[in-house]
Structure 1
Amino acid sequence: MPLRRLFSRRPPLGRLRRGWGALLMVGRHLRALPITRRRRERGDRTDLPAPWPLALVDERTKTFADGRGPLFHRVFTVRAVAAEHGAAALIETLSQDLDRGAPPHVVTFARERGEPGRMLLGDEYRVYMPAPWDGPVRVLARTEYAFRFGTLDGHLEAGEIEFRAADSGPGVVDFTIEVWSRGGDRVAALVYGRLGVGREVQAALWVQFCLGAVRLVGGRREGPVREVTRRVPADELG
């Protein structure tokens, strides 16, 4: 594995703070398990993500086809009721500052390309995670109710992730995080695909992000946070 993937750009203090934050997140995740409904299914080629816009493809692009091992298509959803803010306001808030939905001291979304306070196609972020590596991503889609990232060279994973929200009635907001991911290389495929460690860290993060979205709209959660994971074997990916 290249050295740039083994060592983060962040300073040592930031790594320590995020490591401590990761321990706190694990504790919060264990407490959230009773309100989480998880389902596993076998996937197929209908689970593949949308292709990258051609204008955003370059030598740094890292699509799911560049990954190793099976593809995991995961959907995390939560419903907020008695919400003070709607779906569009939620997405606008997150697009201005993604850290507002993330568990504190665990993950930071640092802008590397684009103007502060707004999110446009082609903007780039570096996701500082509770691990020795960072995750560079690029904005592939942006609408009033959603935005999507694609991974870039140097990311642990290869794939895409979409954040979206919908108004489902007066004061009712449904928030969804949809992930398509494979290991970015052989080592990552072992950790993420075979051992499942990376997938559990990912699940803990996005469940907590869903709960953060409920707080941001000023509502309360109705029902569980739902997670559906569909596994597509590598030999079916073409």
Structure 2
Amino acid sequence: MLGRHLRALPVTERRREHGGATDLPAPWPLALVDARTKTYAEGFGPLYHRCFTVRAVNAAGEARDVIDVLARDLDRGAPPHAVTFSRESGQPDRMLVGDEYRVYMPAPWDGPVRVLARTERSFRFGTLDGHLEAGQIEFRADDVGPGRVDVTIEVWSRAGDRAAEVVYRFLAVGQEIQAGLWVQFCLGAVRLLGARREGPVREITRRVPPEELDGR
């Protein structure tokens, strides 16, 4: 995973900014909140709002096509041998609100997630108890012209416990593992579209201090 991340850095444009209240994720749908729910408010340390975006050109499909493929099998966009998604509830070959998955990585970053939203062009996960992060992640695609599709992965994440905060925040290991994974996932989506990448994968990370999260 580290090797893939380092190879992808030349095609990645990275920016760091200060974040604030506008960087918080949407609330969980009330019908999906239960004892296993793990929102960002239950995390530790700062919240990182990150967007990874790539433009695919000369695409053979449209935005809804790549989202449909990923919703049927998330591993189709994942970098091989780096991450895999295992369905834990729901029906095979489809994704519905309330379905659950477990993300397996070659590091102590495995964790359960629940589908919070699903449209033709997007789906969103929320973390569950047992995940080393607390937050949400959304995959979406937008048609921006004939044969042109923007693929975006938007992440709102916070360390899930005190131990994870040390690795995630102070050692920055978790942040780089996450960046490498989602950059590779963006490139995988371009391949699924039968397209070529136009420009870099753009990464914007906005850090929200923990004092701005207290009581939210």
Show the counterpart of 1:151. Answer: 127
Show the counterpart of 1:20. Answer: none
Give, in angstroms, the shift of residue 27 of structure 1. 1.4
Show the counterpart of 2:52. Answer: 76
**1:133–1:210 distance in 2 versus 1, CA, 3 Å:** closer
What amino acid is aligned across from residue 88 of structure 1 in structure 2? R
> Structure 1: how far apart are the matches of 2:88 and 2:20?
35
Q: Which runs of 5+ in 2 are unaligned?
A: none
- Residues 171-206 of structure 1, C-alpha deviations (whole Å, 9 max, x = no match): 000000000000000011111122211000000000
Number of equivalenced pairs? 214
Task: Tell me the percent identity.
Answer: 76
**Which secondary structure does the structure 2 equivalent of 1:59 belong to?**
coil
Show the counterpart of 2:78. Answer: 102
Show the counterpart of 2:187. Answer: 211
Alignment partner of 2:203 out of 222, 227, 236: 227
Alignment partner of 1:138 out of 100, 114, 118: 114
Give, in angstroms, the shift of residue 133 of structure 1. 4.7
Show the counterpart of 1:40. Answer: 16
**Which secondary structure does the structure 1 equivalent of 2:191 belong to?**
helix
**Which secondary structure does the structure 1 equivalent of 2:46 belong to?**
strand
Alignment partner of 2:3 out of 27, 30, 35: 27
**1:109–1:187 distance in 2 versus 1, CA, 3 Å:** same
**Which secondary structure does the structure 1 equivalent of 2:183 belong to?**
helix
Give, in angstroms, the shift of residue 132 of structure 1. 3.3
Instruction: After the TM superposition, list the runs of 4 or more consecutive aligned residues in structure 1 that deviate by more than 4 angstroms.
Output: none
- Residues 2-54 of structure 1, C-alpha deviations (whole Å, 9 max, x = no match): xxxxxxxxxxxxxxxxxxxxxxx221221111110000000001100000000
Show the counterpart of 1:49. Answer: 25
**Which secondary structure does the structure 1 equivalent of 2:26 belong to?**
coil
Show the counterpart of 1:90. Answer: 66
- Residues 38-83 of structure 1, C-alpha deviations (whole Å, 9 max, x = no match): 0000000110000000000000000000000000000000000000
Give, in angstroms, the shift of residue 130 of structure 1. 1.3
Show the counterpart of 2:96. Answer: 120
**Which secondary structure does the structure 1 equivalent of 2:95 belong to?**
coil
Alignment partner of 2:139 out of 121, 138, 163: 163
> Structure 2: how far apart are the matches of 1:215 and 1:133?
26
Show the counterpart of 2:171. Answer: 195
> Structure 2: how far apart are the matches of 1:195 and 1:235?
21
Q: Which runs of 5+ in 1 are unaligned?
A: 1-24
**Which secondary structure does the structure 2 equivalent of 1:95 belong to?**
helix
What amino acid is aligned across from residue 93 of structure 1 in structure 2? V
Alignment partner of 2:153 out of 177, 182, 203: 177
**1:190–1:204 distance in 2 versus 1, CA, 3 Å:** same
Residue 62 in 1 paired to residue 34 in 2? no
What amino acid is aligned across from residue 178 of structure 2 in structure 1? Q
> Structure 2: how far apart are the matches of 1:134 and 1:119?
20
